Structure 1
Amino acid sequence: MIRSVETLEAAMDRRALLVMGACAGLGAMMPRLALAASDPELLPRVRAVVERWVGPGKFPGMVASLGIPGREPQYVARGSEGFNDGDPVTADSLFRIYSMTKPVTGMAAMQLIEQGKLGLDQPLYDILPKYRHMMVQDTYDGSITELHPANQPITIRHLITHTSGIGYSIIQKGPIRTLMEEKGLVAGQISRMKVPGLIRGEAVDGLDVFADLLAEVPLVADPGSRWSYSMGLDLMGRVIEVVTGKRFDAYLRETVFEPAGMTSTFFRVPAAEAHRLTTNYGALGGVLVPIDTGADSIYLDEPPFPFGGAGLVSSPRDYDRFLRMLAQSGTIDGQRVLGEQAVRTGTRDLLPPGVTIPAGFGGAAGFGAGGRVGKGAEAGVFGWSGAAGTVGMVDMIHALRSQIFVQFMPPTALDLLPEFQTALKADVMALLEKR
């Protein structure tokens, strides 16, 4: 078992933790889809993909969905919440959404910007003074002693768009990764199993401690000069705490989750809801190995701090409500959750001039408040994915939402998500032909 988990950790390294291909190329397929709202079956090809991938020797269960204006989202749910968990998987099952937490944190920041409590280009050191004099590696992922002063301050824009120069222990290599792990700058959790190669150190206790220690680590690039996947959204959680005077998790609950009717989104899954939590698997040579079961999940414990970049568990129904709220410019069920300008700005390209996203993260696109922003044929599509196989996206022009929820790491180990992408495109095109 230890050998298998070490193999899993190696497979999960760097870009394998993110699969954004499922967000690519959908924008061109979505115009005028609302005209097909009377169609009783929206996802026949997606349904076939889900059914093909669920069963013995495959996945225990998964959920996909498509939401269009004027009707309830259509869910395709097959299988169970785990191979040893007979509960049927549904739109209300709980999944580890990992980096799909980032758009939630990003939009919370945009709300504070709209309210005038933060500035998009405000220096981070205004809120967290320890970030006033940052040092930068002369060579990306190189020496942590050959450094130079940052050429400009980190700003709020940089934090939410991964252009701050702050590193990420799941991305960096060499001595800076070792330094982060030694300091406990581990912005996420996977399993209770204390197996070398899977657990990269213990996270520090407290978002305030995390922020203070992160300020002592060199940046991997000058602020505003490069897109580098980062712990910027985790640090944004601490910024929100200081600005609002509330715990970050409490702030999200009071200002986003409760007003949006998101009753199944948690940093810690309540014991009473544990029966809804799916099992997470490691994909090893085509075989799924359980690494975090629903009944004994690490997500049943209080986390070291609320991870604003990768800490949430949610249900397909809940996350669809978040996407629908964005699609409706910040409102849902007649309730305003976020300001219209906050949503519209946060789902647009906010990258500094001259900065582009690497191809491995869905290049030829922009980046907004915690999520990828489509350009050209994909204009208006905003979304991001999670390290355990979840994807959520919204077409801001046509008010459409699509998702897939499954639990396996790394999400690039199998061909499920590319097949889902192809099937979703075909289903949308078929709907267009019926308009």
Structure 2
Amino acid sequence: MGKIRAFRGEILSVGTDPRGDAQAVRHEDDGLLVVEDGIIVARGAYADLGEQFSDVPVQEIAGLIVPGFIDAHVHYPQTDRIASHGEQLLDWLDRHIFPAEKAFVDRAYGDEVAAFFLGELLRNGTTSALVYPTVHEQSVDALFEAALARNMRMVSGKVLMDLGPDGLRDTPETARGESDALIRRWRGRGRLGYAVTPRFILTSSDEQLHVTAGLLTDHPDALLHTHLAENLHECAAVAERFPEAADYLDAYDRFGLVTDRSVFAHGIHLNDRACTRLHESGAGIAVCPSSNLFLGSGHFNFGQADRHGVRLGLGTDVGAGTSFSMLHTSGLAYQAALMREDRLDPFRALWLATAGSAALMHIEDRVGALAEGQEADFTVLDAASTPLLARRTAGATLAERLFALQILGDDRAIAATYIMGECAWRRPENSDHRRTN
């Protein structure tokens, strides 16, 4: 028997989409989570399990234990350009982002940003993420080495963009060679996964898009991670370049890039044909409400996606997204849905930020539901972390507490973050936000 310990407290997870599964919500008001060598071996009511595990050390947890948040789309090199003023997507990239990403030719700079980025994820309760680096091979190494040191489950891969600006331009040949080398270097190490990552279809030549398809064929365990239908100006440029394509998604499809392992960020300007194709292929969308609002791109159509059965997860999309907090992001998702009179239930919002994103990233067998056999990544939420939250949640039902955390919560509501059953971040005592003085 390896290292075994237990955590006692209120436990909540939503393992499947609650819209279609009445048993999706799993809640123990006084629960026990038993962890052996980082893996959950038992979960249930303390009254049922306490005697069975009476010889196991128990840590009492004050707060609501939920699965660690899973960010399905985020850019670590854009951390220092968060809150950059004044542009929509294409101009924002040219003015703010591309110049910043050129600095990642310096491995030491990449190391410093990666360390800060992962620290911010943990501080916000995020334990897994699907991450954009830059075109530079060393930017992937920096992220993966930092994630390996922290035992975090990260999926990433070198950005491909042979039509990018000077300093951020590779070739079809280097895209292939460097991606293959990175996969060989990192496959099977720690809790890391690889994603073949063309930036978006306008920054890759037809030749490089064919190379992308070849990489996915040769590495069937890799994801495809890219952008789709984020901004109307972008959509118009795609239509101009690919006039024979039925729509933006079809442009990718013509290169064999729409499969059940494809994760497309945004997808806020999709027609019904594209949604049908997403469903048929098993591809999915990482919904990014914060960046969609910040860049003036629009609001995701939850109703349309649900009618077509499109797979969904949730992403912060930092640095166009304005917060690392998945609580804050899920609150914006609620508001974006309500713009079209769709009412995002708080349990479904939690599913999107945890098991939904895990399924989108094909890691749902490992994380996302605090289920027996999964890795013990979890976050402790404090519904009294601010005076307003404490007042709003006093005497509230579980659904009301969860919704209040979704709308009013942010990094202050994260009491602690655990990786494989070990505390990776804890809110400092001297930053107890419940104080009013």
Considering fraction of residues, name the structure with more strand. Answer: 2
Q: TM-score, normalised by structure 1?
A: 0.27
Q: Which has the higher contact order (CA 8 A, sep 6+)?
A: 1
